[in-house]
A and B are shown apart, each in its own frame.
Chain A
Amino acid sequence: TQLLEQSPQFLSIQEGENLTVYCNSSSVFSSLQWYRQEPGEGPVLLVTVVTGGEVKKLKRLTFQFGDARKDSSLHITAAQTGDTGLYLCAPSGSARQLTFGSGTQLTVLP
């Protein structure tokens, strides 16, 4: 059973600050996805990373997949209140099943 750890579990910052959240495991992944979940809603896919060392940018969000494909990070530049939510990483598994981490709950204060 793969151990998937997201850190920090909770993060509260002021609007305009930068932040990084992490997703780590002892297993190698073929690909990994990041989702954001807002209160009362289902998770929404942000990005999929596939290649070791890959960096993808989505406006102020930068996603990186580790060289060894065991870890990933999400960096947000100049956070906004609209970035508030639960950020979930999900490495792909066999039989097309996603295993989700427990997430980082981000609160951006005005």
Chain B
Amino acid sequence: NAGVTQTPKFRVLKTGQSMTLLCAQDMNHEYMYWYRQDPGMGLRLIHYSVGEGTTAKGEVPDGYNVSRLKKQNFLLGLESAAPSQTSVYFCASSYDGYGYTFGSGTRLTVV
């Protein structure tokens, strides 16, 4: 049982480039989330999904887009990366919206 898998684990982007972060879960969870973690800021919610085909904005959605075409996958896209998006990104899933299972993170640097 893999749980929540994030790919890639590390990435360096140049300003203005685009990329997609993939999150996959094998627990048949309805709820999925994308957070970013910055020093001293804790975890901040970017976007979330309460089921296949649905997405919603979180606390810091600007500059990001998401899609949930399949229940097990939640994609986070950066259309035009900026240095302010340098962060560690965590995906999480949940059966009932309470207890979360997190992935191990993607470390993104935008230069």
Contacts and interface: CB of A to CB of B under 8 A. Distances in A.
A97 B45 contact: yes
A43 B91 CA distance: 10
A69 to B, nearest CB: 15
B7 to A, nearest CB: 14
B77 interface: no
A42 B90 contact: yes
A97 B43 CA distance: 12
Range for the number of chain A residues in contact with chain B:
20 to 34
Nearest to B94: A96
Contacts of B104: 40-42
A96 B94 CA distance: 9
A44 B102 contact: yes
B93 to A, nearest CB: 11
A43 B104 CA distance: 8
Interface residues of B, number: 28
B92 A97 contact: no
A96 B42 contact: no
A41 B45 contact: no
B45 A96 contact: no
A41 B90 CA distance: 9
Contacts of A92: 97-98
Interface in A77-104: 88, 92, 95-103
Given A88-B43, A96-B50, A33 B99 contact: yes
A7 interface: no
The 7 closest A-B pairs by CB, nearest first: A96-B97, A42-B102, A102-B42, A100-B43, A100-B42, A45-B99, A42-B90
B102 A31 contact: no
Interface in A17-62: 31, 33, 35, 40-45, 48
Nearest to B6: A42
B48 interface: yes
A42 B27 CA distance: 17
A92 B92 CA distance: 15
A107 to B, nearest CB: 16
11 contacts: A41-B104, A42-B4, A43-B90, A45-B99, A45-B100, A88-B42, A96-B97, A97-B58, A97-B97, A98-B45, A99-B45
